[in-house]
Amino acid sequence: MADRFDISVVVPTYDRRDQLERCLRALRRQDFDRTRYEVVVTDDGSTDGTAEMMRAFPREAPSLGYIAHANVGRAANRNVGIRAATGKLVLFLDDDVVADPGLIAAHHRAHAEAGYPAAALLGYSPLAGDGGADPVMRYHRAFWERVYRRAAAPEPSRPWGLFITNNLSLRRDLLLEAGLFDEDFKQYSYEDSELGYRLMQRGVVVRFLPEARAVHHLRLDLAGSCRQAYHAGRSAVVFWRKHPELWSELSLRSARRYDGPGRLPRWWHVAKHLAYNDPMIRRLASLAGSPAARFPQAVSRLALDIVLWHRTVAGMNDELQQGAGG
């Protein structure tokens, strides 16, 4: 199929109408020729009025496509967008990410100039605000800043884990040749990393592109963070079954708050034992997520580490038992 556009911006969505509208309006304000890119929205069964908003949204350039379908899961929803895309490059953008005006131009320019013909370029999408008094949002903001520091390193650890599709571009033919996202991943997490791992086995490299900037309007409370951690644990096991050689890295990934080699710090061994004490977890959860608790930030961060690791392990255990027929 001939390329109709230079870039296809693929935006998967599910029940986030207002965030999606804000994302799309930013994509209409780009410093890039509107006739050279398209936007493809794939809707994974939204019931919040997303379809009505999309029908009313302006359709003049850039070209805007909208594909709504029954709920099929995160990986399959992204694949719908890739198959519908007609650009030489695919730029993945999450629906809660608001692009700076130069985002598309930065991705396009870097691919044209890069010395890596098979490169996936990860843009910089810091969280909006500073987290304020909310310990949960401070925790997530600090997590994402560590991710971007790792991405900026000359030889980052676990490079496949930097294939993060909230703001990432690569050639469409590389995605098609690799077989797209694995649709066994139905829930949150690891569908990106698993495709990134397969792409890297085919010679694709991930490079950090800080000038491709956007703002990530993430909103998570403690309950939502715990749900994500649980689903990440289940997805980690799905990943392990496909790539058992990576289990040692997957099983510690959520436990680490640092990126270098070596032994886990002493505090972590204490934290791991606490993570299996359910009454303690309930007490920690009630305190760690409360702005009124006024913990020192280091204490709040440690408490959230323990609570979220507890949910990750619960997800791992449930997925392992289900796979064993338990």
Mean pLDDT of the chain: 87
Split at pLDDT 50, 70, 90, the class of 307 is confident
CATH of the domain at 75: 3.90.550.10
Please check the confidence at residue 322 and state whether its pLDDT lies above 70.
yes
Predicted confidence at residue 257, as pLDDT, reads 36
> Contacts from 298-307 at CB under 8 Å and sequence distance 24+?
300/135, 300/138, 300/139, 301/135, 301/138, 301/139, 301/142, 301/257, 302/267, 302/271, 304/135, 304/136, 304/139, 304/222, 304/225, 305/257, 305/271, 306/271, 306/274, 306/275, 306/281, 307/222, 307/226, 307/281
The verdict on 189 and 235 lying in the same domain is no
Please check the confidence at residue 232 and state whether its pLDDT lies above 80.
yes
Please check the confidence at residue 5 and state whether its pLDDT lies above 70.
yes
Please check the confidence at residue 141 and state whether its pLDDT lies above 50.
yes
Residue ending a domain, among 216, 238, 267, is: 216
The verdict on 27 and 166 lying in the same domain is yes
> Contacts from 303-308 at CB under 8 Å and sequence distance 24+?
304/135, 304/136, 304/139, 304/222, 304/225, 305/257, 305/271, 306/271, 306/274, 306/275, 306/281, 307/222, 307/226, 307/281, 308/225, 308/226, 308/229, 308/254
The verdict on 275 and 141 lying in the same domain is no
Predicted confidence at residue 254, as pLDDT, reads 42
Number of alpha carbons in the 13 Å side-chain half-sphere of residue 207: 19
The verdict on 16 and 92 lying in the same domain is yes
Among 219, 191, 222, 220, smallest CA distance to 300 is for 222
The verdict on 194 and 236 lying in the same domain is no
Predicted confidence at residue 114, as pLDDT, reads 75
Q: What angle do CA 58, 47, 95 make, to 5 degrees?
A: 55
Predicted confidence at residue 209, as pLDDT, reads 97
The verdict on 257 and 118 lying in the same domain is no
Q: Provide the domain limits for residue 280.
A: 222-323
pLDDT for 19-65, tens place per residue?
A: 999 999 999 999 999 999 999 999 999 999 999 999 999 888 799 99
Residue ending a domain, among 186, 216, 246, is: 216
For 175-186, what is the mean pLDDT? 96
| Helix axes of 222-242 and 191-201: crossing angle, nearest 10 degrees | 30
Would you state the torsion angle of the CA atoms of residues 253, 127, 101, 199, taken in this order, to the nearest 10 degrees?
10
Please tell me the distance from the alpha carbon of residue 136 to that of residue 125, in angstroms, as a whole number.
Answer: 18
Name which of 75-79, 138-142, 200-204, 264-268 the model is least confident about.
264-268
Split at pLDDT 50, 70, 90, the class of 280 is low
Is 125 in a helix, a strand, or coil? coil
